[in-house]
Structure 1
Amino acid sequence: MSMSTTSPTKELSPDTLAQIALETYLRQGVTICAPSDLPKYLQIRAGSFVSLKTRQGELRGCIGTIHPSCENVAAEIIRNAIKAATEDYRFIPIETKELENLVYSVDILSPLEVITDLTNHDTQTYGLMIEASGGRRGVLLPALPGIDTAETQLAAIQRKTGISPDTPIKMGRFSVDRYGQK
């Protein structure tokens, strides 16, 4: 794949950046670079998640990073948008013909805060990451429909990852700034 740059304005929102990145990748086979004129909040290093849904609300992909691995969050968003469409093992890859029916949501994560229990853990405010010995881990973003208690959030991650409820785990939580479709 070749690389190219875009020249968006400083008003570029994270969800629009994800949309431009994915549409360019699927239509032209090109991965865009993060623009040089980014607003300050996109210049920081932070984890991010990109969620892709149909206009009917059906999830089509969600990929993200808890810890940043790119030079800035804009580059994380670009990478995660493409991966959400092409590498989320739960779904067949998104095709170009689906682009017009997609809705984008981007979560920019706060640094992970290690927690030892779920006391005072509000699922509307905090996402949760768990990790078992051996490195198996899972994540759930905050404010998801049907996830109203910390116990429900933990159980959903355990089901998703296959981590048994009696397996010792480490936990961390994070808040998000959410952009795009809520």
Structure 2
Amino acid sequence: MVAANREMVVYCFDTLVSHYTSEEAPPPAFDGAQHPLFVTWKKVVNGGEPRLRGCIGSLEAHCLINGFREYALTSALRDRRFPPIQARELPSLECTVSILTDYETANHYLDWEAGKHGIIIEFSDPDYNSRRSATYLPEVAANEGWTKVEAIDSLMRKAGYNGAITESLRKRIKLTRYQSTLFSMHYSEYVSYVKTTRGAAPTIAGVKPGVH
């Protein structure tokens, strides 16, 4: 099984840096196996807790090279919850890549473990007679300190449902659980890696390398 690793995060940073410099990103140091994947950007300000800045991926299998190239930019620039990440934010960024594995159909909406399982919910919106779905990665519920019910309710809102959340509606949810491997790196670590492996830090106009 392919696990998330440092080279994948480096490639995501390379891709974003190349967007700002209009240069070609160096070729990735991993192969193009097919897996579902996500790219998450967080911003660390004044040594505080990292705050989400963008997170987008695919629950369907993608070639890892093409997938990380696509979602590194999509999550940084086109997550509709946030304004696009600016080049000046690079020194504050932390990137996490996730590779999703072990999809299983749950027996009911509570049949998963916070911190271990990511969850995909699908349900019918009774107000609009439409199907809704959304996912949280395995680390989300644990990081937020939610109970499983709180996580489910939050995910229903994320899916776009604005009506009353009842136990009856929760019980009609189809839940798929999955696991993931992930790897995180701060921009300063990326700069150090690039210096060590390529001999020089990345140069972006107006950005001081490695500054928190």
Q: Name the SS of the counterpart of 1:178 in structure 2.
A: strand
User: Structure 1 residue 132: deviation in Å?
Assistant: 2.5
User: Structure 1 residue 108: deviation in Å?
Assistant: 0.6
TM-score by length of 1: 0.78
Out of 11, 17, 20, the residue aligned to residue 14 of structure 2 is 20
Is contact 2:121–2:175 with CA below 8 Å preserved after alignment? yes
Tell me if 1:83 matches 2:83: no
1:69-108 per-residue CA deviation (whole Å, 9 max, x = no partner) reads x3x2232112111000111000011112212221101111
Aligned structure 1 segments of 4 or more residues deviating by more than 4 angstroms: none
Give the equivalent residue in structure 1 for 2:113.
122
Is contact 1:107–1:179 with CA below 8 Å preserved after alignment? yes
User: Structure 1 residue 162: deviation in Å?
Assistant: 2.8
- Structure with a larger share of its residues in helix: 2
Residue type at the aligned position of 2:184: G
Is contact 1:46–1:109 with CA below 8 Å preserved after alignment? yes
Segments of structure 1 that go 5 or more residues without pairing to the other structure are 1-10
Give the equivalent residue in structure 1 for 2:84.
93
**Structure of larger gyration radius:** 2
CA RMSD of aligned residues (A): 2.5
User: Structure 1 residue 121: deviation in Å?
Assistant: 1.2
Query: How far apart, CA to CA, are the structure 2 residues paired with 1:47 and 1:64?
Result: 8
Query: How far apart, CA to CA, are the structure 1 residues paired with 2:113 and 2:17?
Result: 35
Give the equivalent residue in structure 2 for 1:136.
132
How many residues end up aligned between the 2 structures? 165
Tell me if 1:150 matches 2:148: yes
Residue type at the aligned position of 1:132: F
Is contact 1:123–1:147 with CA below 8 Å preserved after alignment? no
1:145-180 per-residue CA deviation (whole Å, 9 max, x = no partner) reads 124432222112012223353273321111010101
Identical-residue share of aligned pairs (%): 24
Give the equivalent residue in structure 2 for 1:66.
59
Give the equivalent residue in structure 1 for 2:200.
none
Give the equivalent residue in structure 2 for 1:8.
none
TM-score by length of 2: 0.68
Q: Name the SS of the counterpart of 1:67 in structure 2.
A: strand
Query: How far apart, CA to CA, are the structure 2 residues paired with 1:82 and 1:153?
Result: 27
